[in-house]
Amino acid sequence: MYLIDMFNKKTKMPEPGQALPGREEAIPTAETHFVNGTALKGNVPEGLEVAYFGMGCFWGAERLFWQTPGVWSTAVGYQGGTTPNPTYQETVTGLTGHVEIVRVTYDPAKVGYGQLLKIFFEEHDPTQGMRQGNDIGTTYRSAIYTTSDEQLAEAKAAASAYQQALKEAGHGGRVTTEIKPADTFYFAEDYHQQYLAKNPGGYCGLRGTGVSCPGADTAQA
């Protein structure tokens, strides 16, 4: 029964009063990007935009985006729940409500939001609910958190288009991606930032459905 209870806690969002309390102070993290040297925190440079994606374990997902031309910087953290300034150990209990998220800062003149959505939908399985492959729990759910009304509309349209593509491909799955305006993003610990650049042989659990995402633009002029 203990194992069943632990599984249920990890795959159900915490009820009011169940969430861990967290803390007022931010968790220490890196100051600069390990790969390209850009600042992880601070103001977003003029002309750039920010997007947030949850695709399961954030190690492999972050690498996808920092390797994408037009992406200026990436960072990993926790978002979408209630616990302020959570630690990694707290998020994996399922009692923070947070998702492992990649924060993508990009130049929309070089890579469009639609292209980032295409990467998102094709490079993981958005039909698995509170899991991604062998990674099980609310922290691994598929999520898109948006920073503008335009992003929100485009993300919802892309999810609908991908659902239709899955149906036409005979996949049978239902897109479970959580799409909503972004709330506070809490940076993850230093060792998680650009983890696969520091540990090239490290774990990457990304597995797509094999179905292409239609209608994504590669850039916005």
pLDDT in tens, 112-141: 999 999 999 999 999 999 999 999 999 999
| pTM score, whole prediction | 0.94
- For the chain, domains (ranges, CATH) are 30-198 (3.30.1060.10)
Looking at residue 159, its pLDDT comes to 98
Catalytic residue among 19, 40, 50, 57: 57
E strand residue ranges, the chain: 49-55, 71-79, 99-106, 131-132, 135-136, 142-146, 178-181, 186-187
Asked about 57 being catalytic, the answer comes back as yes
Looking at residue 205, its pLDDT comes to 86
Looking at residue 10, its pLDDT comes to 83
pLDDT in tens, 26-84: 999 999 999 999 999 999 999 999 999 999 999 999 999 999 999 999 999 999 999 99
In this structure, are residues 99 and 88 in contact, taking their beta carbons and an 8 Å threshold? no
**What phi, psi does 117 have (nearest 5°)?**
-65, -35
> What is the Cα Rg of the chain in Å?
17
pLDDT in tens, 154-200: 999 999 999 999 999 999 999 999 999 999 999 999 999 999 999 99
In this structure, are residues 72 and 48 in contact, taking their beta carbons and an 8 Å threshold? yes
